[in-house]
A = this chain, B = another copy of it.
């Protein structure tokens, strides 16, 4: 049996057991079937069942007891409640930036901090040696080419490799349908420039990525904030209400593994959203940066663009969360409607994208190494995230709420009444711990009781102690108030 097929089999089994733990079929503390039992019942090899159990043990969901077998952990995640879905929307407004945003960004980027504030994924999880090996095989002839001005649209082999990884998009995606950018953020800003001018209104999710708010503030773009469910993504009905009463020119959404929520719009909801934007003829910028870090099934969730039959969706992504943030290599699939405009804007702002970084990533993909790497990365990030969630449950005060996303690397945590995310952020800094206060994730400074915790770093003792400290600080705040 080849390695890939075996991986699928053990993941099927671990996914099934995990679902049964979450929905309460297996109770906390209950003994699980033995490896031999599963082997007989399911006609699976001993090693496949063993791998599934190891994977579950790594997440902390089950534990091995010597000479006794595997047990569901005594404190399972189904005790946690999903953060509230605050269904308020507001008329288009200017983005007012919280004054603390610069300090927050500095803390988030500070390598001295225990890094819950950061959305980055650790270089420990990246194929550092392989990328370096590619860099070391560059010939003088190649280097001569790499030194010249690159094409504004980017390295053709890299575009072909990215095109090969797309699926389900009407009319398909070819290399020429892709424009390489300086990370996902440049992709998003080019799309925004293509469809909006200052004073125009953009529909965004509430909450959203604070980096978007920074840019929209700088550009003088108004925002209509659409309530977004921590599990199922943006509220399409509420979006329709807003489209009816406000002059929305475009939308900027993260349908798959939202930042900060981690929410995933189910396919039927994506289809409904596509139908709505078709009726209103509104372009949508789709940020798909976490799309490849899915935890369930064997295939990434469909992008919104797969439901788009009117060429209105521009899909942006990058390798920053999955391979090398430092390379600053992202891309946009702008569709035929916006391609020329995006390409002109790209040429007029940053001219082109760094050639060496494009070359290295193109080769990594051409060698077929990316999918192998992603399989490992998904498992590692999922394990880190579940262990972080379990530790939050263990150490944070009662009535803390969070949802376990189906992908990405972020946890959205609602603190109990009496606690304040910004205060917790400030107290945590004194302990050299960074978190992202939820207040920076919306234009109206809501989400004061929320924090975002990044789970991109291996779950070490330092990480666990950091969560313990955060929990203690949050508990003190709750007790002070009550």
Contact = CB atoms under 8 A, between A and B. Distances in A.
A64 interface: no
Contacts of A120: 148-149
A83 interface: no
Contacts of A151: 109
Contacts of A353: 182, 328, 354
Given A102-B344, A109-B151, A218-B345, A146 B352 contact: no
Interface string A317-345: 00010011111110000000000100011
A100 interface: no
Contacts of A143: 128-129, 131-132, 135
Interface string A143-172: 111111111100000000000000000000
A128 B140 contact: yes
A280 interface: no
B218 A326 contact: no
Contacts of A344: 102, 214, 218
Contacts of A109: 149, 151-152
A24 interface: no
A439 to B, nearest CB: 18
A180 to B, nearest CB: 11
A218 B348 contact: yes
Contact of A123 (B131, B145, B348): B145
Interface in A99-129: 102, 105, 109, 118, 120, 123-124, 126, 128-129
B189 A349 contact: yes
Given A128-B140, A354-B354, A347 B105 contact: yes
A186 B350 contact: yes
The residue in A135, A323, A349 that gathers the most chain B C-beta atoms within 10 A of its C-beta is: A349
Contacts of A349: 185-186, 189, 215
A348 B215 contact: yes
A420 to B, nearest CB: 25
Nearest to A213: B348
A105 B326 CA distance: 30
A348 B211 contact: yes
A29 B109 CA distance: 67
Given A182-B182, A354-B357, A348 B214 contact: yes
A179 to B, nearest CB: 14
A197 interface: yes
A225 to B, nearest CB: 18
Contact of A149 (B193, B320, B345, B347): B320
Contacts of A354: 182, 326-329, 353-354, 356-357
Contacts of A131: 143, 147
Nearest to A220: B197
A317 to B, nearest CB: 14
A324 B189 contact: no
A326 B149 CA distance: 5
Interface string A131-144: 11001101010011
A189 to B, nearest CB: 5
A198 interface: yes
A54 interface: no
A185 B351 contact: yes
A326 B150 contact: yes
Given A126-B147, A146-B326, 9 more contacts: A109-B149, A128-B147, A132-B143, A135-B143, A150-B325, A185-B349, A185-B351, A218-B345, A356-B360
28 contacts: A102-B340, A102-B344, A109-B151, A118-B149, A123-B144, A124-B144, A128-B143, A132-B138, A148-B326, A149-B325, A182-B350, A182-B354, A185-B348, A185-B349, A185-B350, A186-B349, A189-B350, A214-B348, A215-B349, A326-B352, A326-B356, A327-B355, A328-B353, A328-B355, A350-B350, A354-B354, A354-B357, A356-B356
